Amino acid sequence: MSNLDLNTPITNPRLTELLAQSKLVQHDPEALNQQMNLIFEEIANRANLLAITTIDDSKVTHNGNGTATFNKGATISFHLLGAADGSAYLPLFTDWDNIGMDPIVQTQKISAMVMPFDQFASMMDDNLAGVVVNPYNENLAITKAQILHIANVKKMNAGGVATEKIQKDTPVKIGEPGNYPTDMVNSISAYAKKNKNINAIHLKLMEKEGELVLLLIVDFVGNKEDVFPGIAEAARPHIPQGYGLGMIPINDSFGQKAADNKPFYVKKKGLFGF
C-alpha cells in the first residue's frame, strides 16, 4: 500500500458485512433481492467509498495532514475499468485492503478520493456504464440506470421529486400492476383534486434493469415543481414494499407511448369545460 498517498483510514464495516452475506444467498433469488436492497440502501445513505485517482502534482499543494489544496489548472483523472462490450465502469472500494488488490497500485503512484453516493451518482454520463464495488473481491456491478433510480428514490424519500429518465437503448418493460396499489392511488387522487394544475394521471408498472417501478405519467400544466412534490408526498406512505416510484410528464416521448391505458385520475371540468 506504499503507493497510496491518502492516509486517513476509510472503512465501511456495515457494507462489508452486507456484501459478505450476499455471497451466502446467491442461490436464493428472494433472499438475494432483499440483501441487495439492504446493500443499495447502505451505499445510498451511509457508505463512503474510495475511487482511485491520479493527480497532476505540479498543481497541488500537499498540506502534510493527509489533505491537499488543488490550485488553478489542477486535473484529476479517475481510474476506470473496461467491460467486454467496450463500456467503462468506475471502480469503487470499501477500504484500503480492497484498493490494494488493484494491479494499478503496484505500478503507479496513485491517490484515492472519498466518494459518497451523491458524488459518484452525479458523475453518471454517456461515458460511464455504472460503478463496480470491490472489483477484485465481491465485484458488485451497479449500472447507471440503477444508480439513477436509487438517486431518484433517495431524493423522493428526502421530500424531493423522483423523475424517471429513460436512457436510450435501456431495456424497459411496461405493463399493468398485478397487485393494484389502491391506497396509493386514492391518496394521490385526493391530492390531485386540490391541485388545479393536474389534468390526469396514468399508472403503469415498469421493469427496468431488474427494478420494479410504479410509474406515474402526469398530464399537467405549468411547472412540474408545482406538481410532482405534492404527488410524491401523497404517494410515499402507501408505496408497496419492493417497488420504486417514478414520475414523467405525459408530453415526454416515452410518457406519450406508455400512457395507453385509462387514467386513474381525471380532473372534473365545469359546465363550460374549465
Q: At 133, which amino acid appears?
A: V
Q: Shortest CA distance to 103 belongs to which of 203, 205, 231, 3?
A: 3
Between the CA of residue 113 and those of 4, 8, 66, 159, 170, what are the distances in Å?
11, 11, 11, 29, 30
Statement: residue 75 has pLDDT above 50: yes
Q: What pLDDT does residue 2 have? A: 37
Whole-number Å distance between alpha carbons of 82 and 28: 30
Give the burial string for 69-100 (b: 16+ CB within 10 Å, else e): eeeeeeeeebbbeeeeeeeebbbbbbbbebbe
> Can you tell me whether residue 269 is helix, strand or coil?
coil
Q: What is the CA radius of gyration of the chain?
A: 22
For helices 182-192 and 228-235, the axis angle rounded to 10 degrees is 140
Statement: residue 159 has pLDDT above 60: no
Q: Is the dihedral of CA 102, 115, 167, 146 positive or negative?
A: positive
C-alpha grid cell, residue 169? 437503448
Mean pLDDT of 17-30: 91
Whole-number Å distance between alpha carbons of 155 and 137: 30
Q: Shortest CA distance to 234 belongs to which of 175, 193, 181, 189?
A: 189
Kind and range of the H or E run holding 77: strand 76-78
Whole-number Å distance between alpha carbons of 70 and 56: 9
**pLDDT, tens digit (0-9, with 9 covering 90-100), for 181-230:** 999 999 999 999 999 999 999 999 998 777 788 999 999 999 888 898 89
**CB atoms closer than 10 angstroms to residue 43:** 26
In this prediction the pTM is: 0.59
DSSP symbol at 238: G
Confidence of residue 12 (pLDDT cuts 50, 70, 90): very high
Higher pLDDT, 131 or 66: 131
> Can you tell me whether residue 114 is helix, strand or coil?
strand
Q: Return the ∠ at Cα 98 (arms to 96 and 100), rounded to 5°.
A: 70
- Return phi, psi of residue 189, to 5°: -60, -40
**CB atoms closer than 10 angstroms to residue 27:** 7
DSSP symbol at 86: S
Statement: residue 271 has pLDDT above 60: no
Mean pLDDT of 30-48: 89
Statement: residue 261 has pLDDT above 50: yes
Statement: residue 116 has pLDDT above 70: yes
Q: What pLDDT does residue 8 have? A: 54
**pLDDT, tens digit (0-9, with 9 covering 90-100), for 226-254:** 898 899 889 988 998 888 888 999 988 88
Looking at every residue in the chain, the average pLDDT score rounds to 84
Q: Is the dihedral of CA 80, 166, 34, 115 positive or negative?
A: positive
Q: What pLDDT does residue 65 have? A: 62
